[in-house]
Structure 1
């Protein structure tokens, strides 16, 4: 059976962050992911996982100055030292949380960038990913890259599946894989079943959301039951991250997941 992880940056936001672990467990999730853990001490997060029998599935490397609009460091020329420091910080958390996958966000290319600037971003990205993959390999962990659509994140360096395949080939690291977000793929290029099949040997993680609106996966133009069936037929044994914004209260919208052990209704209140 497919395994679903609650993205705690988007789900259960009716509660404070540390209380979302309980809400996820009460709703039938056995894994969690989120954007960043760095606002909390590793021991706090470890305790939340242990208290509720949850597995930490994924989180991102530090992204730079998020509030200022930065969306990752991996492709940014001149920020290599900061990127390397971010790997060390992420691995410290990954060790404490026993998290097997880390996502390195690529960063944004300036809208006015010329061909030379874009080439500098590409070369920096490849070099940084080679270094990061080597460091994660020492710790037995997988490095992920994710094509993100330019409607949601204008200027993001990596936005198409074919581009991700080229990057993997250029880096040449066995532990570098693709974080395949079906929402972003639909927004960027569509033809999801063919894209999923073409990318499948390189996939290290899957994420879902409805299109349009990035709400529950049973709302909108994507027919997720067919894609879930295809993932099972392909032999996918990883996690599927539920990285969507609920249209209302989180648990009320979990009816789509009943076949996978998720439950609706009002959660218990601590």
Structure 2
């Protein structure tokens, strides 16, 4: 099977009005990507049919992602927060189904933010309990749930592939996979090779993000080695480019993710160059 490549819609910004959605989806398709990763919308405010129409018009597939906050943290002891988180996750699964996407990933297990307390067994169990119900919704609608571990400053619960693999096993659903992001893994793992090995057969989705979240190939990640490791592991999920610029996403979103320095300013050029870079590195690892 040929490798499928995706790109995060945030490359063109986080606005998702019908016009902005059509612009991002069209740009991703024009650059040659197989799919675009779309942040989950609030379906009580926005109509998912606008997104579905744009995807069909431009002939490109989609995946969906989200990150929980401290206000809807499903690992929290407060039942109201857990309920809000479960509602967001459930809505994301339905949004994916509405637009024909078969994957929902991201920070779905806890808040994305720096915790002021140590992780607990109880918090982990609360998260597992909710995600088992969310995964069951996905099983009925044909949607896979990806658990994306993040660095120590953005969660206290899952920070490595090994932790996440055990967590996925404990959910106990066939439609739950490890979602590996190279930016976070480069911070937390001894090597990306070990991360891929630890995830093993559970690895289902990969964010291709440079060590500084900038242009691929300008940081410290050895992309040729990583792609070789993925081939050895028989990874057949999408490789999705995730790179953001404060010039594009604006001050509020930049502050949310701690993105202080612009590495690029032209989203269309970033999209085209990233895909060409990954294809060239893939060609170095796979015999013609």
TM-score by length of 1: 0.82
Give me the whole-angstrom Cα distance separating, in 2, the residues matched to 1:21 and 1:259. Answer: 21
Distance 1:226 1:44, change over 3 A: same
TM-superposed deviation, 1:137: 1.3
| Aligned Cα root-mean-square deviation (Å) | 2.6
Distance 1:14 1:124, change over 3 A: closer
Distance 1:53 1:240, change over 3 A: same
5+ long unaligned stretches in structure 1: 65-69, 263-270
Give me the whole-angstrom Cα distance separating, in 2, the residues matched to 1:225 and 1:72. Answer: 38
State the secondary structure of the residue aligned to 1:6.
strand
5+ long unaligned stretches in structure 2: 246-262, 281-288
Which one of 250, 254, 258 corresponds to residue 276 of structure 2?
258
TM-superposed deviation, 1:215: 0.8
Give me the whole-angstrom Cα distance separating, in 2, the residues matched to 1:109 and 1:32. Answer: 25
Matched ranges for 1:50-199 at <5 A: 50-60=56-66, 63-64=68-69, 70=70, 73-77=73-77, 78=79, 79-103=81-105, 104-107=108-111, 111-113=115-117, 118-151=120-153, 153=154, 155-199=155-199
CA offset digits 1:9-64 (Å, max 9, x no partner): 2x134997321111111111120003323363101100111111110123237x35
State the secondary structure of the residue aligned to 2:50.
helix
TM-superposed deviation, 1:227: 1.3
Give me the whole-angstrom Cα distance separating, in 2, the residues matched to 1:59 and 1:80. Answer: 18
State the secondary structure of the residue aligned to 1:34.
strand
TM-superposed deviation, 1:256: 4.3
Match in the other structure for 2:35: 31
Match in the other structure for 1:267: none
Give me the whole-angstrom Cα distance separating, in 1, the residues matched to 2:141 and 2:14. Answer: 35
Match in the other structure for 1:241: 240
TM-superposed deviation, 1:93: 1.0
TM-score by length of 2: 0.77
Match in the other structure for 1:43: 49
Q: What number of residue pairs does the alignment pair up? A: 250
Q: Is the 8 A contact 1:182 1:192 kept in 2?
A: yes
